[in-house]
Amino acid sequence: MSRPATYFVRTAVWGAALIVPLALAALTGVLVTRGAGALDANLFFGGVPALQAMTGRVPVWDGIWPACAGTLSLLGLTMLLALGPGIGCGIYLATSTASRAKAVLGFAVDLLAGIPSIVMGLFGFTMLLMLRRTIAPNAGASLLLAACCLALLVLPVLVSTTRAALESLPRQLHLTGAAMGLGKWQTLRHILLPSSARGILGGILLAAGRAAEDTAVIMLTGAVANAGLPAGIFSRFEALPFTIFYRSSQYRDALELEQGFATTLVLLVLSLSLLAGASKLQRTLEQRWQGIRDDD
């Protein structure tokens, strides 16, 4: 009949089911076996006592604590910059009725989502050059510039998850608001946003995960190999992904290499926990509205 077609698909299925987990296990295995040995306080603080290192009284030069602090500050600043425009844009796309504007904006967001991260970093670099030539001659590569570029990078994630969360709510909720005589903003504030809050939070975590792991953008806009703890938003900083990239090609001895592996494990744990949080939130959102939606 069409045995070959089914046969082909079956080969693909079994091939994939074997190759992909195997490849992933091999890669993770390399990281764990060569890096787990270095996961200790020395990795983070490089011989400096923990409390002094964390408060910045003694600079840490051989540990990844400054990079961790840098990544966390970068995350915080990026989300601060991206939340407003991202969620606002998502709400606009989900609730507006101007279909022409919606189509154009939707296309713009898709374009933004597809821009390679190094092009985004290049854009940040050109912005820096433009600023230096015009209004801010002392501007330099900094935490603020990197955060702005990362915010642009994660904007599409926020927009699409907010939009999806709002659109996945049953239509009855929109009608409930209108039936009670509430205006658009009040419907949003009292009914729609609280109901979809979990989905939006999930989107925020996804965006944070994306921002935490990106290297190409920060490489061009302010991350350096050694800078100590971040000293304000106008200074250069260290970040975990950049430290990993740097270590991969320039380790000076076996210990530094082992620590490089351990750093990848740290970043992996960070990304996976952000993702786990996001999917838990999104799943509870789905479950909440499952019953009502199926009735539709």
Q: Interface residues for another protein in 32-51 (CB under 8 A)?
A: 34
Q: Which two tokens stand for residue 47?
A: 């011989």
At 140, is the secondary structure helix, strand, or coil? coil
Matching residue, tokens 């939340």? 83
Q: What is the DSSP letter of 191?
A: I
Matching residue, tokens 């992996």? 268
Residue from 126, 172, 284, 287 touching another protein (CB under 8 A): that is: 126
Least distance from another protein to the Cβ atom of residue 271, Å: 4
Least distance from another protein to the Cβ atom of residue 52, Å: 10
User: Is residue 241 at the binding interface for another protein, with CB under 8 A as the rule?
Assistant: yes
Matching residue, tokens 């009670």? 180
Q: What is the DSSP letter of 194?
A: H
User: Is residue 92 at the binding interface for another protein, with CB under 8 A as the rule?
Assistant: yes
Helix (H) or strand (E) holding 175: helix 171-179
Least distance from another protein to the Cβ atom of residue 227, Å: 4
At 92, is the secondary structure helix, strand, or coil? helix
User: Is residue 21 at the binding interface for another protein, with CB under 8 A as the rule?
Assistant: yes
Residue from 36, 50, 58, 80 touching another protein (CB under 8 A): that is: 58
Question: Quick one: which segment of 4-12, 67-75, 195-203, 288-296 binds another protein (CB under 8 A)?
Answer: 4-12
Footprint of another protein on 167-206 (CB under 8 A): 183-186, 188
Q: Which residues neighbour 190 within 8 Å (Cβ) at sequence distance 6 or greater? A: 177, 182
Determine the Cα–Cα distance for residues 25 and 241; give it in Å rounded to an integer.
21
Least distance from another protein to the Cβ atom of residue 27, Å: 4
Residue from 132, 171, 190, 280 touching another protein (CB under 8 A): that is: 132
